[in-house]
Structure 1
């Protein structure tokens, strides 16, 4: 089975949470080092856990709807420009993004979810994540400063 091979462990980051709160509606140039996914629901009092789950399902669902194209798992301009969206999914799984901060809030007419990822992903021409066979031992990991997480069958970059 070929799948994700190596990545940094994703950290839920309190600093990123506070940045998500502060910068959720700020100008893009003020958050240039962060990737961001946004979700809105017309249900003003939606349960916040349900809102976060719905947002993640919607963002991850872009893969089934659009795919990423090439077998080498590189984000290309062709994939990026297809009708519909893929960037929420690719940012969620972007190998080099290892910090995550999310915030859910009720606004006047909606429930709003913002998740920010650091460092920012979605670079055209870069791999979304490295692919390979699942690891079973540290020796299976060919990356520098990696260890095998047997539970996830991933080489975790330290």
Structure 2
């Protein structure tokens, strides 16, 4: 076997591996167990071990923003305003998203990082229960922010709505 044929075989196998890595990297998480308003601890990265509250969730990217953590300095160019000759530029601290796999929920009692298991109470309500080495087997309440709708429901009657009299009108009398 010549050197060129072995090199082409290597290229073909490397191409297969890179395709596989790209395909696996875009898998979205089906069932999220972390929501906006939860207290989480960062498990890896520069802010490892710090606790914060989730402020925003990006489900299509498998990422979330934790308030006050993963800050990056961003340089902003000067914005000239009329009447101001030379405005200064700024350096701002901006929160960057953290991948879902790099955070864990915090147990409300022990303060340690835990995993979550969903279970149902006797009355049928779904609850989140902590599990793991540092867990206290307690319920993690859903954040109050989830109870509010982001966009309020429309209660007014629109032009394309069916009138109530037309809905209540009897149109079928049954077989004769």
When normalised by structure 2's length, the TM-score is 0.19
Structure showing greater relative contact order (alpha-carbon pairs closer than 8 Å, 6 or more residues apart) = 1
Task: Return the structure number with greater helix share.
Answer: 1
Bigger radius of gyration? 2
When normalised by structure 1's length, the TM-score is 0.21
